[in-house]
Structure 1
């Protein structure tokens, strides 16, 4: 169930089409949706978009699988899992092309690397999420058993994660951009492991094939607006600053300025999902769930709904 609902468009005509979008976490990957609203791109396509905020990818994907939402802003690995479980879903566009998370600890913590997590509590967003899979992958690669050698705590995102870290409920937490920058700028914290250097099929737009087969034109209209906004954010620093300021009203000017520099390198271009990023995702998934390692790119990713250049 969504923990919050907000309409991204306003003042739309009755003839317009409504699309329900579930968001695993508001982050830099969702900036194109906000920019599309700010600039009237959804209205240009005669669609209305409702967004439903969730605490991580797993509950958002549950809503997608049940048909409660039409499109999910989620990690791409959820599309792989849905397909493997008999619920065909497709990644219809990429929002980011880099992994978005880093592990943070208090500056005073005795934890300084992954090897120090033995017996500790690690905060993830939710079970089966990008944070869960990625942590299990790197820990297993070091010979650390994620289920035996430490405790995974499902915390959610952003403010709850920081509160859990500050109060000692967890020893290390996973934060995404821009929360990484905000937390690091606001106190004594350190990065334990940074996944953000990975090219990765991280945050994407995912839809069930059943929805796409019945609403292909609506999906194309939605993507035209989103990709138009995504392309704008790569070339217009003012548009990016406006979107960041609205999404993060408590951030000071210096932090917004830093994000204007940092964000574009993580945003996908033209909604494309790279083969290399997909391969990295499958490698991580295969280490956690070996049966997922054999699902090819073409079974999960489609370009059929992207705007024609």
Structure 2
């Protein structure tokens, strides 16, 4: 068989490469220009599994791949992270979905645009050292309860649990302890009598017998038992005006988070250990991985906020906070799924 001259094969290869390059140009041009590429994100307790998708997307370079230059500031709790956004020192908050409802009740319009967690991952535990004879929630009257920060989702969960026993927030003292080593120290040293917090902290205390868990939303089943339905948790949210003025930037952030969620679906424990900073492990790899296995199902699969979950959140908040009137909240304005749906289609999440 006669082989074509070398020059022809080279010419064909060059032509093919040119054709591929030409095909690629429209897609590059079609990528929308970011209205703002440098973004400041505030988060309350970044080392918690509650924000694992944010850490994964950051560590694996998924934000950079979307053309974003992300600066993440870590605060003691979600309420403080929110203050940074309200005060203008951050653009976006990585925090609890229910803050969008609380803010609307104060005539401040914020909108969540991609979900990180489909369960709150918060556990409420009693100190076995300080309250060895604990029998019921009424025993907590007058006691000190540790939360990540006053006003944060850990505080809201505690308020909800206490309200079911007829206790008001003013019947206890809430103390901010963060979500990492400080929380462990606060409970172990006897500074607090009970704690509402996230993992890995709660699993570490639970496995060592230092807390008795009385309410748990680290699983989908536990979340339904506590809230009566699905409950959206960690998400990226921002002032509604920011979302409306920066749609391409919000799309890029949603893409990065959903890319991270897709990676987490197949990641093994070893992959997680290699990806997160060493300080997140709190000095105990085995317990960190045990914590991850406990909360794994609570991580969102595709970044989409469920409509029924948003309604559950509103109902839960209105049940213990008289300043939130369900009939006055436009729940549809607290979130949008348009960005997450596009990201889900792109990454097949």
> How high is the TM-score relative to the length of structure 1?
0.86
Equivalent residue, structure 2, for 1:6: none
RMSD over equivalenced CA pairs, Å: 2.3
Equivalent residue, structure 2, for 1:124: 147
Distance, in Å, in 2 between the alignment partners of 1:131 and 1:75 is 9
State the 1:29 CA deviation.
3.0
Distance, in Å, in 2 between the alignment partners of 1:255 and 1:240 is 13
Name the structure where helix makes up a greater proportion of residues: 2
Equivalent residue, structure 2, for 1:114: 137
Distance, in Å, in 1 between the alignment partners of 2:275 and 2:295 is 12
What secondary structure, in the 3-state scheme, does the structure 1 residue paired with 2:332 have? Answer: helix
Looking at CA atoms only, which structure, 1 or 2, has the larger radius of gyration?
2
What secondary structure, in the 3-state scheme, does the structure 2 residue paired with 1:268 have? Answer: coil
- Return the match for 1:269 from 301, 313, 317: 301
Structure 1 residues 292, 269: CA separation in 2 closer, same or farther (over 3 Å shift)? farther
Equivalent residue, structure 2, for 1:204: 235
Given that 1:125 and 1:132 are in contact with CA atoms closer than 8 Å, whether structure 2 keeps it comes out as yes
Matched, 1:100 2:121: yes
What secondary structure, in the 3-state scheme, does the structure 2 residue paired with 1:152 have? Answer: strand
Structure 1 residues 113, 162: CA separation in 2 closer, same or farther (over 3 Å shift)? farther
Equivalent residue, structure 2, for 1:11: none
Matched, 1:146 2:169: yes
Equivalent residue, structure 1, for 2:16: none
State the 1:296 CA deviation.
4.0
Given that 2:41 and 2:90 are in contact with CA atoms closer than 8 Å, whether structure 1 keeps it comes out as yes
After superposition, where does 1:5-154 map in structure 2 within 5 Å?
Answer: 17-26=37-46, 27-108=48-129, 109=131, 110-147=133-170, 149-154=171-176
Distance, in Å, in 2 between the alignment partners of 1:220 and 1:69 is 18
What secondary structure, in the 3-state scheme, does the structure 2 residue paired with 1:305 have? Answer: helix
Given that 1:111 and 1:192 are in contact with CA atoms closer than 8 Å, whether structure 2 keeps it comes out as no
Cα deviation digits, residues 52-85 of structure 1 (max 9, x gap): 1111121211111122111101111111122222
Given that 1:23 and 1:60 are in contact with CA atoms closer than 8 Å, whether structure 2 keeps it comes out as yes
Structure 1 residues 287, 252: CA separation in 2 closer, same or farther (over 3 Å shift)? same
Equivalent residue, structure 1, for 2:310: 278
What secondary structure, in the 3-state scheme, does the structure 2 residue paired with 1:53 have? Answer: strand
State the 1:21 CA deviation.
0.4
State the 1:236 CA deviation.
2.2
- Return the match for 1:225 from 243, 247, 256: 256
Instruction: Report how many residues are paired.
Output: 294
Distance, in Å, in 1 between the alignment partners of 2:289 and 2:159 is 34
Equivalent residue, structure 1, for 2:18: none
State the 1:130 CA deviation.
1.3
Given that 2:124 and 2:214 are in contact with CA atoms closer than 8 Å, whether structure 1 keeps it comes out as yes
Cα deviation digits, residues 246-295 of structure 1 (max 9, x gap): 46244434224424433320101211112232222112210233434232
Gaps of 5+ in 1: 1-15
State the 1:227 CA deviation.
0.7
Structure 1 residues 97, 46: CA separation in 2 closer, same or farther (over 3 Å shift)? same
> How high is the TM-score relative to the length of structure 2?
0.77
Given that 2:147 and 2:154 are in contact with CA atoms closer than 8 Å, whether structure 1 keeps it comes out as yes
